Amino acid sequence: MSHLLVVMGVSGSGKSTVGAALSQRLRVPFADADDFHPEPNIAKMSRGEALDDSDRWPWLEEIGRWLADHPDGGVMSCSALRRRYRDQLRHHAPATTFVLLEGSREVIERRQAARPGHFMPASLLTSQFATLEPLEPDEDGIVLEVDQSVDAIVQGYVDVVEGRERR
Ligand SMILES: Nc1ncnc2c1ncn2[C@@H]1O[C@H](COP(=O)(O)OP(=O)(O)OP(=O)(O)O)[C@@H](O)[C@H]1O
Ligand SMILES: O=C(O)[C@H](O)[C@@H](O)[C@H](O)[C@H](O)CO
Task: Note the pLDDT of residue 2.
Answer: 82
What are 52-109's pLDDT values in tens digits? 999 999 999 999 999 999 999 999 999 999 999 999 999 999 999 999 999 999 999 9
HEC readout, the chain: CCCEEEEECCCCCCHHHHHHHHHHHHCCCEEEHHHHCCHHHHHHHHCCCCCCHHHHHHHHHHHHHHHHCCCCCEEEECCCCCHHHHHHHHHHCCCCEEEEEECCHHHHHHHHHCCCCCCCCHHHHHHHHHHCCCCCCCCCEEEEECCCCHHHHHHHHHHHHHHHHHC
Residue 29 has pLDDT above 90, yes or no: yes
Measured CA to CA, the distance from residue 70 to residue 101 in angstroms comes to 22
Residue 167 has pLDDT above 90, yes or no: no
Measured CA to CA, the distance from residue 113 to residue 120 in angstroms comes to 11
Q: Report how many domains make up the chain.
A: 1
Gap from CA of 18 to ligand 1 centroid (Å): 8
Gap from CA of 165 to ligand 2 centroid (Å): 32
What are 32-56's pLDDT values in tens digits? 999 999 999 999 999 999 999 999 9
Residue 165 has pLDDT above 90, yes or no: no
Q: Who wins on pLDDT, 164 or 84? A: 84
Residue 9's domain comprises 4-166
- Ligand 2, atom 5, lies closest to the CA of 79
What are 110-131's pLDDT values in tens digits? 998 888 777 788 889 999 999 9
Instruction: Kindly report the pTM of this predicted structure.
Output: 0.96
Gap from CA of 34 to ligand 2 centroid (Å): 7
Measured CA to CA, the distance from residue 117 to residue 112 in angstroms comes to 10
Task: Note the pLDDT of residue 151.
Answer: 98
The CATH number that applies at residue 57 is 3.40.50.300
